[in-house]
Structure 1
Amino acid sequence: MPIANAIAETNFQLPGQTAFYRGKVRDVYTVGGRLIMVASDRISAFDHVLPRAIPYKGQVLNQIAAHFLRASADIVPNWLEATPDPNVAIGHACEPFKVEMVIRGYLAGHAWREYKAGKRAICGVPMPEGLKENDPFPQPIITPATKAEEGHDEDISREDILAQGIVNEAHYVQLEKYTRALFELGTAMAARQGLILVDTKYEFGLKAGEIFLIDEIHTPDSSRYFYAEGYEERQQRGERQKQLSKEFVREWLMANGFQGLEGQTMPDMPDAFVEEVSERYIELFEHITGQPFERADTSAIARRIEGNVMSYLAQG
């Protein structure tokens, strides 16, 4: 069976379009006071976009994000207005805060690498002695990062954010409150699906002086999940945790000699691996949301997306 079509990029000219931005994964069009975010099938790891797009990945991310944005709308207002196409989200254009609010419930990923290197604080937040990889923190910790235009985001402390005037104190206090409340909701929703929300990040912006939640939330691109079943036993035996995230893509790249470092060559992605990644993303959708995934028609994917966006904009 031939591999399904994927969309690596879009190049629309929308009526009233005033700006266009291509991120690692999303193509973002500005029309009036709205953002039109097209979730492409690009996939990134180690801050590099991989050479091949993954069928249905954009649809998976867009629909997971919409699922959680709708579920959290009573906690914090968010940017989302509509999803006129499986790969598209349309909503309010906000002025983004130049920090990402990273929150960690467990000692994993970047926090574990810092801990293993002997550090007992991250972003100015102390980490207790005697923890093993993937152990829970006594309570979730917020470890912000500055948003880099290119390359790696950088850890930053609350104190430095305030001292540098990146966010004012009143706003920052509110961002922390929202971050904790969203993480609590995400943790509860994950638990109902037999999952543990390990860590995630949120982005916020301002519109008319009000804080809005922007971008995606609780997707496998922005979050790490463990399977709850067997978690305790694996911890006791010192085994690796079963993850529901794109970590398997990073592991494949590392096994093929790529970690995004200078001088390293991105490996070719064979069809079989592209299909495996696609199926894993669909599995992620179904496991995270508890809903069956309906594969959109990809026979003329760019035309489908453009047509649905134009129809929505024509409604005013």
Structure 2
Amino acid sequence: MNAIQETNFQFPGQTAFYRGKVRDVYSFPDKLLMIASDRISAFDVVLPRPIPLKGQVLNQTAAYFLKATADIVPNWLLDVPDPNVSIGLKCEPYAVEMVVRGYLAGHAWREYRDGHRVLCGVALPDGLRENDRLPEPIITPSTKAHEGHDEDISREEILRQNIVGESDYVQLERYALALFNRGTEMAAERGLILVDTKYEFGNLNGTVYLIDEVHTPDSSRYFYADVYEGNQQTGQPQKQLSKEFVREWLITNGFQGKTGQSVPTMSDEWVNQISKRYIELFETVTGQSFQPADDTDPLRRLEAAILHALNN
């Protein structure tokens, strides 16, 4: 299949261009246009091979949840003119990601396993096992890095450095926990557990908006609810619906994004397996059937859809 590695368009009225780890972002005076490419990143490193249909899954999952949470917090999304494209309001991003965790998994577990009992200023009790449910959801913020690794940071440090003002930060906390609660309820309806996720917010004319993606496979981790208790009781790994299986494969093959490490070779079979896992996540999380976009000439398809949207 023809995957979308990158785009290099020049649209009428375009004022700037930024290539993120996964998205290509085109700026206009009052709008942003995001193209979800098929690039995949792990440990804040873009892997060398794109994953067919991953960008479509990412974009359509985000649109699904932005619509489903618009009653909680206003969001940036205005239009989805193509399965890989979102157009929305141009907000000033807050320089932190609000990571909400309901379970001790992933990065939080690795920190805990290594002896840390305070994560981003939040104290964790002794005696927890990997994937245990936390007493209550916690927020473990990280600074938003344009390049390299995002860094853990505490609420106190965010306020001390005035990265976000206190009144705004309190609102971000309230929104993040409310969104996590909604995501938890929606996941339960699909037989899933929302383990952890991250939210990004921006400000436009004094109003806080939810921006970027929400509850997608790149920003969230899910467990299957029906086997969770049994696996915890027997010490078995949890059946996951997330990008964690990619990270685990990289770790097994000697890569964690550290200096001097090389990304292991990704075979065609492995690339196709990742693609199938992303499609599985979309269908399981949304309850909708995935309809692959026409990949005959994806760049031409994107450009035509975007130009039509910009002219209307």
Within 5 A, what are the aligned runs for 1:1-316? 4-315=1-312
Distance 1:77 1:35 in 2: 16
Task: Give the aligned CA root-mean-square deviation in angstroms.
Answer: 0.8
Question: 1:251 deviation in Å?
Answer: 2.2
Size of the aligned set, in residue pairs, is 312
Structure 1 residue identity aligned to 2:116: K
Contact 1:120 1:129 in 2 (8 A): yes
Question: The residue matched to 2:2 in structure 1 has which SS?
Answer: coil
Contact 2:283 2:289 in 1 (8 A): yes
Structure 1 residue identity aligned to 2:108: A
Contact 2:81 2:305 in 1 (8 A): yes
Distance 1:41 1:25 in 2: 7
Of residues 255-264 and 238-247 in structure 1, the stretch that sits farther from structure 2 once superposed is 255-264
The CA deviation string for residues 6-44 of structure 1, in whole angstroms up to 9 with x for no partner, is 010000000000000000000000122100000000001
Question: The residue matched to 1:229 in structure 2 has which SS?
Answer: helix
Question: 1:119 deviation in Å?
Answer: 1.6
> TM-score, length-normalised on structure 2?
0.98
Structure 1 residue identity aligned to 2:61: I
Distance 1:295 1:76 in 2: 30
The CA deviation string for residues 148-176 of structure 1, in whole angstroms up to 9 with x for no partner, is 12111111111111111111111011000
Question: 1:253 deviation in Å?
Answer: 2.0
Q: Any gaps of 5 or more consecutive residues in structure 1?
A: none
Question: 1:191 deviation in Å?
Answer: 0.5
Contact 2:279 2:290 in 1 (8 A): yes
Question: The residue matched to 2:129 in structure 1 has which SS?
Answer: coil
Contact 2:54 2:275 in 1 (8 A): yes
Distance 2:133 2:68 in 1: 25
Question: 1:259 deviation in Å?
Answer: 1.9
Question: 1:269 deviation in Å?
Answer: 1.5
Question: 1:185 deviation in Å?
Answer: 0.3
Distance 1:144 1:262 in 2: 24
Question: The residue matched to 1:90 in structure 2 has which SS?
Answer: strand
Identity %: 68
Q: Once superposed, which parts of structure 1, at least 4 consecutive aligned residues long, lie more than 3 Å away?
A: none
Contact 2:6 2:24 in 1 (8 A): yes
Q: Any gaps of 5 or more consecutive residues in structure 2?
A: none
Distance 2:112 2:269 in 1: 36
Of residues 153-162 and 18-27 in structure 1, the stretch that sits farther from structure 2 once superposed is 153-162
Distance 2:118 2:288 in 1: 39
Question: The residue matched to 1:17 in structure 2 has which SS?
Answer: coil
Contact 1:15 1:31 in 2 (8 A): no
> TM-score, length-normalised on structure 1?
0.97
Question: 1:268 deviation in Å?
Answer: 2.1
Distance 2:244 2:134 in 1: 21
